[in-house]
Amino acid sequence: MKNLIILILVAFSTLAIGQDIYTIRQVPTDKGGTWGAIPSSNGQLIFVNNASKVSRGDDFPSRLLVLDRDNKETALPTFSQYERIGSPYISSDGNEFYFTISGTVSSKTSGGNVFSSGTRVYHLQIMISKKQGSDWGPAEPFIHNNESYSNGDPCLSNDGGYLYFTSDRSGGHGGTDIWRSRRGSDGSWGEPENLGGAINTSGDERFPRFDFQGNLYFSSSAGSGVLDLYKSTLNGNSFGTPIRMDYPFNSEGDDFAISFLTDDSGYLSSSRMGYDRIYYFEPVKPIIVRDTVKIIETKIEEVTPHEAFSRLKPIYFDFNKSNLRYSTEMNSLLDLVLFMRQFPTVVIGLPSHADCRGNDSYNMKLSKKRGEAVKKYLIETGGIDPGRIQVSEYGASKPVSNCDCSKSTRCNEVQFQANRRVEYELLKY
């Protein structure tokens, strides 16, 4: 029986039953401030690195870096003449390289541009380079660039017939909108057209990209004020109503610049950890478990809720925070979701706690928010019926560490962390 339980719990920590669950992990780049990753045909990853602020005014330079199969990081020497470069894109045939650079400098101009800083905005321009042998040829400006507004975030439709990009040019819906230009038979680019109010809003729409089925992905600030990822499904020759993507694609930070490696895996950029970093996403592969029975050799043994429940681990939180720490708590969250799906009659309680710092009233409110955050994850990501989840808040009244906030028996940081938790109770099974 012991071996059976361990086997099933290993499955719980990595696998899902029913709807797809995605997981992400941070790409191991050496530098902070990295974003905009695109995979190349030779297995390398090209991305942007924003440098720290330099001494000459409010200039924030950036460069393109390459991460090879061995996780070795080097600068991309091509296009190194540009001090502010971003949003790289390579055509599906590997013969065209598109990217964004800063153009002219204007003072006291507002806008949602990548290279904005202080009271200056460096208007963006799209550049296009074609393959010459094993390298890229000189970059030429997109014919519809203009010094009075920005064009950026270029990408092609899957057939290469349209160049999609973002711009704050006149004729939009506010902020930066997504536009497209049709490529003529002679290679020329037609007059840009706005994608319209079904896609664009009064906020900023940024970073259009396509999956292998031709569905449109982009980021918008219209909902929460930060950039959230949206998907618009291709319907014939038009795009359907955009749907905000679930976690882990969206977080409390900016989430943007998605790119696909396969049909359901790829890269996205996010500031969810406090600054821009690149993340790899892929689906958690499902396993079929026959009800609550698993066959081991020739024996059929039943798994009870109590045995599986005892293996669940608490969810821990940062000091004075109630948002979920997906980077460290993902396995525990998945375990909980899969337990609830495996035993569909179970009702659980979520006893929620805080450490002793802060007054009693504040800690009660904070611990309740933590429990509600776990409940929300179970409902929105796990698809669990809200009636199966009950939150109970205890503030700092039930510590697990034998210490407190007094001078003589004050908790250390490890002990404080142990007290900032959401646990579980089996209320019905």
pLDDT at 116 over 50: no
Q: For the ranges 27-31, 78-82, 91-95, which has the lowest average pLDDT?
A: 27-31
Assign 20 a pLDDT band (cuts: 50, 70, 90): low
Residue 143 · residue 188 · CB < 8 Å: yes
**Residue 23 has what pLDDT?**
80
Full-prediction pTM beyond 0.95?
Answer: no
pLDDT at 117 over 50: no
The residues near 295 (Cβ < 8 Å, ≥ 6 apart) are none
Compare 413 and 69 and report the one with higher pLDDT: 413
- The pLDDT of residue 338 is 82
Q: Tell me the two tokens of residue 234.
A: 């291709």
Residues 95, 41, 273: CA angle, nearest 5 degrees: 110
Determine the pLDDT at residue 118: 46
| Predicted pLDDT of residue 295 | 31
Check residue 103 and give its pLDDT: 64
State the pLDDT at residue 213.
Answer: 94
pLDDT at 110: 42
Per-residue pLDDT, 407: 83
pLDDT, position 219: 97
Mean pLDDT of the residues in the chain = 83
Token code pair at residue 192? 């840009």
Residue 269: pLDDT above 90? yes
Question: b/e string for 110-127 if b means 16 or more Cβ within 10 A?
Answer: eebbbbbeeebbbbbbbb
Report which of 247, 259, 240, 244 is spatially closest to residue 196, judged by C-alpha positions: 240
Residue 6 confidence (pLDDT): 27
Whether the per-residue pLDDT at 57 is higher than 80: the answer is: no
pLDDT at residue 218 above 90?
yes
Q: What percent of the chain is modeled with pLDDT above 70?
A: 83
Q: How confident is the model at residue 81 (pLDDT cuts 50, 70, 90)?
A: confident
pLDDT of residue 129: 96
Given a cut of 70, whether residue 169 has pLDDT beyond it is yes
Give phi and psi for 367, each to the nearest 5.
-65, -35
In the chain the domains, ranked by start, together with CATH numbers, are 2-14+303-428 (3.30.1330.60), 21-284 (2.120.10.30)
Bigger pLDDT: 86 vs 251 = 86
Whether pLDDT at 202 is above 80: yes
What HEC string does the chain produce?
A: CHHHHHHHHHHHHHCECCCCEEEEEECCCCCCCEEEEEECCCCCEEEEEECCCCCCCCCCCEEEEEECCCCCEEECCCCCCCCCEEEEEECCCCCEEEEEEEEEEEECCCCCCCCCECCEEEEEEEEEEEEECCEECCCEECCCCCCCCCEEEEEECCCCCEEEEEECCCCCCCCCEEEEEEECCCCCECCCEECCCCCCCCCCEEEEEECCCCCEEEEECCCCCCCEEEEECEECCEECCCEECCCCCCCCCCEEEEEECCCCCEEEEECCCCCCEEEEEEEECECCCECCEEEECCEEEECCHHHHHCCCCCEECCCCCCCCCHHHHHHHHHHHHHHHHHCCCCEEEEEECCCCCCCHHHHHHHHHHHHHHHHHHHHHCCCCCHHHEEEEECCCCCCCCCCECCCCCECCHHHHHHHCEECCEEEEC
- Best-predicted range by mean pLDDT among 9-18, 98-107, 291-300, 328-337? 328-337
Q: Which of 93-102, 174-183, 282-291 has the lowest mean pLDDT?
A: 282-291
pLDDT of residue 290: 40
Residue carrying structure tokens 């503030």 = 395
Is 352 a residue whose pLDDT tops 50?
yes
The number of residues in the chain equals 429
